[in-house]
Amino acid sequence: MSKILTVGEPMALFVAEKEGPLEDVEHYSRFVAGAEVNFSIGMSRLEHQVTYISQVGLDPFGKYIKKFLEQNKIDTSLVTFESNYGTGMQWKQKVASGDPEVHSARKHSAASHMGVEKLANIKWDEFDHLHLTGIPPALSGSCRNMIYELIKEAKAKGIQISFDTNLRPGLWDSEETMAHVINDLAFQADIVLPGIDEGKLLTGKQNEREIAEFYHAAGVKTVVIKLGAKGAFTSSDGEQFYTEGYPVKKVVDTVGAGDGFAVGVVSGILEGLPIKEAVRRGTIIGALAVMSPGDNDGLPDREKLEVIAKGSVANS
C-alpha cells in the first residue's frame, strides 16, 4: 500500500447530544475534527500508511488528539506539542437535516504557528503521495509558507500531489486573497478536488466543465468536482464523465462528506483502479460519512467497503 504524507490542524470536536441552538446545549460528545484527520483515518482504515504533520497544544485536548491518531494507526512522529499555544476546538450542532452550525475556536492555535521548520525532519524517500487541503494556508502566513515549501519539495522528488480546495472563507482576509492562493496551490497539484460551489467561487466559471478546463489550462491532470448528492463530474486525460451519488438512507451529519470522497478517489488512484472506479469509490465513502454523527467515525475499513461496493455494482 501507499505511503502518504499530509498536514493540517486537528481539533477537539464537541457534538451536541440534543438538537437545538448551541447556546442551549448542556451535553456534548467528544470527537476529533479536521479535514486532514478525516482523510488520514479513512486512508489508514483502507490499510494505507499515513504520516500526519501537525502541532497541538500541550494540554488535555492535544494529548487526546495524539492518542486518537495513534489508535487509528496514523504515524504521529511529525506531530509536536506547543506549550505556548492551545489546541484548536470546535462545537457542532445536532440537526435532523441540513448542515449543522459549527463554532470554532482556533485563532492563534498551536497549529497556526507552524512554519517551514516543521518540514526539517521529513524523510522524503519514504513517501509516494502528498495530500493537501486549502485549510492550512488559511491559518497564518507561516503556515502558508510551509505549504508552498512542502509542495516545492514534493515536486522536486516527483511525488504525486492531491489537493482538496476545502474553502474556509472565514479564515481569510478576503475572498480575492483566498482564490488567488488556493488556485496558485491547486495549479501545482496532479489531482484537484473542488466542490461545485467552491469551483465557481475560485474560477468565476458557471459549470463543472468550465471549472475543469480552468484547472487543466494551468496544467492539472485530473479534476474531480463534487456535486453533492448528485455525485461527481470528472475530467482526466481527455476523458469526461459523471458519477451518480451513492444513495443515503438517512443523513445524520453532512460534515466530513467531502473528506470521505477524497479518501475514495485518492485511494482508488493509488491502488491503480480505473478513474471511474476510483470516483465511484469516492461517492460510496462520502455517502457513508454523512450517515454517522462524528466527522470520521463512518469511514469504512476495507472489508466493509468491499461489501458495499459489490452491492452497489449488483444494484446498478
Q: Which residues are catalytic?
A: 259
Q: At CB < 8 A and 24+ separation, what contacts does 269-272 make?
A: 269/191, 269/222, 270/1, 270/2, 270/4, 270/48, 270/128, 270/129, 271/1, 271/2
Q: What is the Cα gyration radius of the chain? A: 18
- What separation in angstroms does the CA of 275 have from each of 96, 197, 235, 285? 34, 23, 10, 15
The whole-angstrom separation of Cα 40 and Cα 52 is 8
Could you tell me the three cell numbers for 272?
491503480
For residue 58, the number of C-alpha atoms closer than 13 Å in the C-beta half-sphere is 5
Strands 3-7 and 49-57: parallel
The whole-angstrom separation of Cα 126 and Cα 149 is 18
Pick from 69, 83, 65, 185: which is nearest to 135 by CA?
Answer: 185
Q: Within 10 A of 54 (CB to CB), how many other CB atoms are there?
A: 26
Q: Within 10 A of 85 (CB to CB), how many other CB atoms are there?
A: 18
Sheet harboring 129-133: ordered strands across? 79-82, 49-57, 3-7, 129-133, 160-164, 191-192, 222-226, 231-236, 239-244
φ and ψ at residue 267, rounded to 5 degrees: -65, -40
